[in-house]
Chain A
Amino acid sequence: MKHLIQLYVQQFKTTLAMMFQYRASLVIWTIGQVLEPLVYLIVWLVVAKSSGGSVGSYTTTDFAAYFIVLMLVNQVTYTWIMYEFEHRVREGVLSVALLKPVHPIHSDIADNISSKIITLPIMITIAIIFVFAFHASVAPPLWAILVFIPVLLLAFSVRFVLEWTLAQAAFWTTRVGAINQSYFVAFLFLSGQIAPLTLLPHPVQILSLLLPFRWLISFPVELLLGRLTMVETLIGLGAQFGWLIVSIILLRIVWRAGVKVYTAVGA
Chain B
Amino acid sequence: MSYFRIFLAFLRVNIYGETAYRINFIIQLFQSLLNLGMTLGGLAIIFTYTNLLGGWQPNEVLALVGVYFLIGGIIRLIIQPGMEQLIESVRDGTLDFRLTKPADAQAIVSLQRVEIWEILEIILGLGVLIYALVKLGEIIGVLQAAEFVLMLTAGGVIIYSFFLILSTLSFWFVRVENILVIFQSVYEAGRWPVSLYPGWLRYGLTFIIPVAFATTIPAEALTSRLNWQTLVGAIALSIVLFIVSRIFWKTGLKRYSGASA
1/0 per residue, CB under 8 A from A, across B235-257: the answer is 00000000000000000000000
**Which of A40-48, A235-243, A259-267 faces chain B?**
A40-48
State which of A36, A181, A199 has its C-beta within 8 Å of the C-beta of B188.
A36
1/0 per residue, CB under 8 A from B, across A164-182: the answer is 0000000000010110011
A35 interface hit (Cβ, 8 Å): yes
Contact assessment for A50 and B34 in the assembled complex, using a CB-CB cutoff below 8 Å: no
Decide if the interface of chain B is mainly helix, strand, loop or mixed: helix
Measured CB to CB, the closest approach of chain B to A94, in angstroms, equals 22
**Which of A23-31, A70-78, A115-123, A135-143 faces chain B?**
A23-31
Measured CB to CB, the closest approach of chain A to B19, in angstroms, equals 17
Contact assessment for A24 and B176 in the assembled complex, using a CB-CB cutoff below 8 Å: yes
State which of A28, A29, A35, A182 has its C-beta within 8 Å of the C-beta of B189.
A35
Q: Given known contacts A43-B53, A47-B49, A175-B27, is B35 in contact with A24 (CB within 8 Å)?
A: no
Contact assessment for A178 and B186 in the assembled complex, using a CB-CB cutoff below 8 Å: no
Measured CB to CB, the closest approach of chain B to A51, in angstroms, equals 6
Instruction: Please indicate the chain A residues that have their CB under 8 angstroms from the CB of B177 in the complex.
Output: 25
Within B30-89, the residues touching A (CB, 8 Å) are 30-31, 34-35, 37-38, 41-42, 45-46, 48-50, 52-54
Name the CB-closest residue of B to A185. B38
State which of A29, A31, A185, A200 has its C-beta within 8 Å of the C-beta of B45.
A200
1/0 per residue, CB under 8 A from A, across B187-225: the answer is 011011000111001000000000000000000000000
Contact assessment for A47 and B179 in the assembled complex, using a CB-CB cutoff below 8 Å: no
Report Cα–Cα, A159/B186, bound state, in Å.
25
Report Cα–Cα, A51/B50, bound state, in Å.
7
Decide if the interface of chain A is mainly helix, strand, loop or mixed: helix
Instruction: Please indicate the chain B residues that have their CB under 8 angstroms from the CB of A199 in the complex.
Output: 45, 49
Report Cα–Cα, A55/B188, bound state, in Å.
24
B185 interface hit (Cβ, 8 Å): yes
State which of B38, B50, B196 has its C-beta within 8 Å of the C-beta of A189.
B38
Name the CB-closest residue of B to A200. B45
Contact assessment for B50 and A47 in the assembled complex, using a CB-CB cutoff below 8 Å: yes
Instruction: Please indicate the chain B residues that have their CB under 8 angstroms from the CB of A32 in the complex.
Output: 181, 185
Instruction: Please indicate the chain A residues that have their CB under 8 angstroms from the CB of B23 in the complex.
Output: 175
Report Cα–Cα, A59/B77, bound state, in Å.
42
Q: Chain B interface residue count: which class?
A: 35 or more
Instruction: Please indicate the chain A residues that have their CB under 8 angstroms from the CB of B53 in the complex.
Output: 43, 46-47, 50
State which of A42, A175, A177, A201 has its C-beta within 8 Å of the C-beta of B196.
A42
Report Cα–Cα, A43/B189, bound state, in Å.
10
Q: Given known contacts A46-B196, A185-B37, A199-B49, is B31 in contact with A177 (CB within 8 Å)?
A: yes
1/0 per residue, CB under 8 A from B, across A55-96: the answer is 110000000000000000000000000000000000000000
Contact assessment for B31 and A42 in the assembled complex, using a CB-CB cutoff below 8 Å: no
A217 interface hit (Cβ, 8 Å): no
1/0 per residue, CB under 8 A from A, across B163-194: the answer is 00000000000011111011001101101100
Contact assessment for B182 and A43 in the assembled complex, using a CB-CB cutoff below 8 Å: no
State which of B41, B49, B188, B189 has its C-beta within 8 Å of the C-beta of A51.
B49
Instruction: Please indicate the chain B residues that have their CB under 8 angstroms from the CB of A44 in the complex.
Output: 46
Contact assessment for A25 and B41 in the assembled complex, using a CB-CB cutoff below 8 Å: no
Measured CB to CB, the closest approach of chain A to B58, in angstroms, equals 12
Report Cα–Cα, A194/B31, bound state, in Å.
19
Name the CB-closest residue of A to B196. A46
Contact assessment for A177 and B27 in the assembled complex, using a CB-CB cutoff below 8 Å: yes
Contact assessment for A178 and B30 in the assembled complex, using a CB-CB cutoff below 8 Å: yes
A195 interface hit (Cβ, 8 Å): yes
A39 interface hit (Cβ, 8 Å): yes
Within B121-180, the residues touching A (CB, 8 Å) are 175-179
Instruction: Please indicate the chain B residues that have their CB under 8 angstroms from the CB of A181 in the complex.
Output: 31, 34-35
Report Cα–Cα, A194/B188, bound state, in Å.
13
Report Cα–Cα, A178/B189, bound state, in Å.
23
State which of A38, A43, A185 has its C-beta within 8 Å of the C-beta of B34.
A185
- For the A-B complex with A46-B53, A189-B41 known, give 5 more contacts whose Cβ atoms are closer than 8 Å: A24-B175, A28-B185, A38-B201, A39-B192, A42-B197
- Cross-chain pairs A/B with CB under 8 angstroms, 23 sampled: A22-B178, A24-B175, A24-B178, A25-B178, A28-B178, A28-B179, A28-B182, A32-B181, A39-B191, A39-B192, A42-B201, A43-B53, A43-B192, A44-B46, A46-B54, A47-B50, A56-B49, A177-B27, A185-B35, A188-B38, A194-B45, A195-B46, A201-B45
Closest 3 CB pairs of A and B: A32-B185, A25-B178, A47-B50
